Amino acid sequence: MYSLVALALGYQYLLASFSVSNPANPTPETFSVLSYNVRVFNTYAYLQNENEPGKAMIDWLVSDTAHIKCLQEYYNNSRSAIFNTTAQLKSSGTYNTYIQPNLVNRIGAEFGLAIFSRYPVLQRGVIALPDSSHFGIYADLKIRQDTVRVYNVHLQSMSIDERNLSNFEGVKNNYPSVFQKLKQGFMGRAGQIDHLVTHLQASPYPVIVCGDFNDLPYSYTYFSMRRNLLNAFERAGNGLGFSYNGRLFFLRIDNQFYSKTLYAHQYQTIREVTYSDHFPVRAVYSFTKN
């Protein structure tokens, strides 16, 4: 009986951790959504290296065929031949864009969130999240005869140097500051997710929420979303779906959630794309199961 109770209590966490599904083939009615934290395309010198330059990441995004692309930590410098990312991404097809910077630096470069859509944008807006410079955006997209509201969010980071957690001595020496940052991060994201959930509950259309949630599948953040929406990894993914590309490789912090009136055909963490400290995630949806 104790074992059965333990299994029952842990079942929802098992579902959030590991997925086994049989992906359905795309049809003419399906549409694909890519979500990717691009880490400002490694534009700063300390992020660059010979094997994974920002230009290669931009080239990969240009070649990607997703109908909708949601990018976090987006960077665009229209004066740069390499980092004029908006122009390059729009050159790969007929994309409607919604770019919302939270910072424009002295040379006019933009930092923020972006949504690229092959479908018409009916309406767009910003969601100001409390107690943080982080925020969310949304766009209402007309997909054939239907409309979907796509959110792109980047929630508060833990701001922890993972190098301090890669060995026992580092954890022991940095425990007080790490604990304080974890506490601040959990509290900050809790307020942000409550605000986001209130907003999406008022949506007149089915929703897809993409983003870097900076939180684990066992958190208040994750289960607040899960109480209202389905998770694409749980429904159409396979394996563990780790999305962080760093020393703490066992983290799945990038997600796509969607309304129960939609259907997820496929979900993939694209682990061969290693340019950023996050892997891109892609899902394929339709408005009906068939």
What is the pTM for the complete model shown? Answer: 0.89
Residue 2 has pLDDT above 80, yes or no: no
Band of the pLDDT at 263, cuts 50, 70, 90? Answer: very high
Band of the pLDDT at 130, cuts 50, 70, 90? Answer: confident
Average pLDDT for the chain: 86
Residue 63 has pLDDT above 90, yes or no: yes
Helices H, strands E: what count in the chain?
Answer: 6, 12
Go through the domains of the chain in sequence order and give each one's CATH number: 18-286 (3.60.10.10)
